Amino acid sequence: MTKNTEFYTKRAAELSLRNDCWVDGRFVPALSGQRFETVNPATGAVLAQVARGDAGDIDRAVVSGRAAFGSGVWSGLTPTERKAVLLRWAQLVRDNLEELALLDTLDVGKPISDTLTIDVPGAAAILQWHAEAIDKLYDEIAPTGGRDLAMVRRVPLGVVGVVVPWNFPLDLAIWKIAPALAVGNSVVLKPAEQSPLSALRLAELGSEAGLPAGVLNVVTGFGHEAGRALGLHPDVDCLAFTGSTEIGKLFQGYAGESNMKQVWPETGGKSPCLVFPDADLEAAADKAAWGIFFNQGQVCSANSRLLVHESIAQDMIGRLKARAEALVPGNPLDPSTRLGPMATVEHADRVAGFIEAGRQSGTLVTGGGQLSHGASRAYIQPTIFADVASDAVIVREEIFGPVLVIQTFRDEDEAVALANDTPYGLAASVWTRDITRALSVSDRLNAGTVSINTVDALSPMTPFGGMKQSGFGRDLSLHSFDKYSALKTVWIKY
């Protein structure tokens, strides 16, 4: 059968959905017996009744992880032995590409064209990269001199808690799980309640690849129950979080209330895209549109503020308007769809509220509608505002939707001032053919990643994370191993 909408609809109906927690190497219901619904935002249909884990389930997962860590069944393996298991796991992710892609498409409305070509292949590649890196990290010998030998060793922490959001359910889980497991930790993963399905299947594939029981546990449930319990648990050594700044602050508080566990937050963003008059405007428009409308704008590093030199503002507005109007929200199981629904109806309503506020504070260039398809009203038109003051809500707050705000600047100093006038500092983009300007502006921008003549540049070889209230956690690259390990000095006199 041709892989069209009909094919993926039929394939989706045939999926076996895992709906229990994964603890100690097997699926188990929540101790309370309670469940919650996970809903397809494209249709409003209930996909599954998922185990509603709470503090008791988190505790048994942590106990399982601690026992596995203490036994050395994983932590005691050589890096090469752990690498072999993780590489098998990466291949199983590739072997189950279609299933994993459909799970995230169904759970949060991501277009199947994206999950098949970007999300799942990217997750497998990042798992493979961390696996291949782990037996190439060397310990150190300190230059103490004399009859002393001081070894500086990298050792695992123990039990790592991982809390991930719903916008990239599979990818962001692997961003954190891969380095944490590679260095020898056990992991307790709490996926977002809106998107639990791919995490459960991922854990099952990990077991098939050879992960020992207890090394990876997945507890599904709500943030205020299971997530809070993970943050407060006294036997969790480290917690890695991606999500909102508000929740990131809560996890830091949980650490202070409990055992001072390390907390590594990667949080919100309001990233600027600066376009100077000498830029390639066609390329800038293409990438600026992708940078805000990809994944329905549900990207923490989305370039949601377009800062354009006043001499080219009308030109760029026209180019962006044409690109926005060419994107029509549609069925995410249709391979031709490039813009699906928001992850939930509730989130669509939230984004629509920001758009209404924008109508009061700027000029609506295009879009602005909340659309219904069948029983679901989770669809938002690509939306652009111009002539917006810097103190407007849509300029200051993270919308997390397909809403672009365009502002103008007169010179480089004003561009940098506008770009940095935000509590966030996750990403930024600079468009210019002048290499001196590109580098000098990048030096002045408060952002964890500055992309020049592109947007949202990303690779497992470079760290991803932010500054200010975008958090200080770093995913990807060799630096990702730092937050999941400790340095231990072993000093020998001879």
How does DSSP assign 370-386, residue by residue?
EEEETTEEEEE--EEEE
Determine the angle formed by the axes of helices 5-13 and 97-108, rounding to 10 degrees.
Answer: 90
- Per-residue pLDDT for 1 more than 60? no
The Cα 210–Cα 129 span in angstroms is: 18
Query: Any residues with CB less than 8 A from the CB of 257 and at least 6 apart, and which?
Result: 232
Q: Which residue from 431, 413, 317 is spatially nearest to 363, judged by alpha carbons?
A: 317
Task: List, for residues 275-287, the tens digit of each pLDDT value.
Answer: 999 999 999 999 9
Q: Is the pTM of this model over 0.85?
A: yes
Nearest one of 346, 341, 259, 256 to 298, comparing CA atoms: 341
pLDDT by residue (tens digit) across 366-391?
999 999 887 799 999 999 999 999 99
**Torsion (CA) 118, 291, 380, 193 in degrees, nearest 10:** 50
Active-site residue 238, yes or no? Answer: no
Model pLDDT, residue 375:
79
Q: In the chain, list all ranges with CATH 3.40.309.10.
A: 272-459
Paired residues of 151 in beta bridges: 141, 490
Residue type at 133? A
Residue 257 designated active-site: no
Alpha-carbon dihedral of residues 483, 485, 486, 491, nearest 10 degrees?
A: -140
Q: What is the pLDDT of residue 374?
A: 79
Q: Annotated catalytic residue: which of 300, 356, 397, 414?
A: 300
Report the top-level CATH class of 272-459.
alpha beta
pLDDT value of position 216: 99
Structure tokens at 452: 């020049």
- Tell me which amino acid residue 479 is: H
If you search the block for the tokens 């405007």, which residue do you land on? 281
Q: Is 256 helix (H, G, I), strand (E, B) or coil?
A: helix
Mean pLDDT of 251-260: 98
Nearest to 112, CA basis, from 227, 15, 205: 15
User: Which tens digit of pLDDT belongs to each residue from 390-417?
Assistant: 999 999 999 999 999 999 999 999 999 9
Q: Which of 55, 52, 60, 54 shows the shortest CA–CA distance to 24? A: 60
Render pLDDT for 130-178 as a digit per residue (tens, 0 to 9). 999 999 999 999 999 889 999 999 999 999 999 999 999 999 999 999 9
**Residue spans in the chain of domains classed CATH 3.40.605.10:** 5-267+471-490
The whole-angstrom separation of Cα 246 and Cα 250 is 7
Structural Rg of the chain based on CA atoms: 23
User: Strand, coil or helix: what is 234?
Assistant: coil
Residue 74 has pLDDT above 60, yes or no: yes
CA distance 365 to 367: 7
**How big, in percent rounded to 5, are the helix, strand and coil portions of the chain?**
45, 20, 35
In whole angstroms, give the CA distance from residue 325 to residue 383: 9
Which of 266, 273, 397, 412 is an active site residue?
A: 266
The total of other beta-carbon atoms located within 10 Å of residue 89's CB is: 26
Q: Give the CATH architecture of domain 5-267+471-490.
A: 3-Layer(aba) Sandwich (3.40)
Mean pLDDT of the chain: 97
Q: Is 456 left (phi over 0), alpha (psi -120 to 50) or beta?
A: left
Q: What is the mean pLDDT of residues 54-71?
A: 98
pLDDT of residue 426: 98
Report the distance separating Cα 477 and Cα 178, nearest Å: 11
